[in-house]
């Protein structure tokens, strides 16, 4: 089955800096890669996703890139703000109808 590795486990940046979180996946059949933000005790919130037929997607300060050949994808947050502080999870899915498999998470801390 699918296995998703995520790095780093913790990331501390200054407000205004950029943050990058990287994930790799094992199953070349995976075709959907979402990123979630989770605050303590709450449900994961989808912040951006990308499908395997696209190499990059951007939404304001957030962007995701996908390298299918290398089987890795990354989350880029620019101009970070203290409210970006949370745990971020990447995930991958093999095909529609199957469950998302999550990475171990990255705790992002943005200090002002």
Partner 1 sequence: GAVVSQHPSRVICKSGTSVKIECRSLDFQATTMFWYRQFPKQSLMLMATSNEGSKATYEQGVEKDKFLINHASLTLSTLTVTSAHPEDSSFYICSARDRRGDYNEQFFGPGTRLTVL
Smallest distance from partner 1 to CB 19, Å: 19
CA 70 to chain centre: 16
Q: Are 10 and 106 in contact (CB under 8 A)?
A: yes
48 near partner 1, judged by CB under 8 A: no
35 near partner 1, judged by CB under 8 A: no
32 near partner 1, judged by CB under 8 A: yes
100 near partner 1, judged by CB under 8 A: yes
Indicate which single residue of 92, 101, 108, 110 sits in contact with partner 1 (rule: CB under 8 A): 101
46 near partner 1, judged by CB under 8 A: yes
CB burial of 55-69 (b: ≥16 within 10 Å; e: otherwise) equals eeeeeeebbbbbebe
């Amino acid at each position: 089955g699918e296995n998703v590795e995520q790095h780093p486990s913790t990331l501390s940046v200054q407000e205004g800096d950029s943050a990058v979180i990287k994930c790799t996946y094992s199953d070349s059949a995976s075709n959907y890669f979402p990123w979630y933000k989770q605050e303590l005790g709450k449900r994961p919130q989808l912040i951006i996703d990308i499908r395997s037929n696209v190499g990059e997607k951007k939404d304001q300060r957030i962007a995701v890139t996908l390298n299918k050949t290398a089987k890795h994808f990354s989350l880029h947050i620019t101009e970070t703000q203290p409210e970006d502080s949370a745990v971020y999870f990447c995930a991958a899915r093999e095909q529609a109808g199957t469950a998302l498999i999550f990475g171990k998470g990255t705790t992002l801390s943005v200090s002002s």
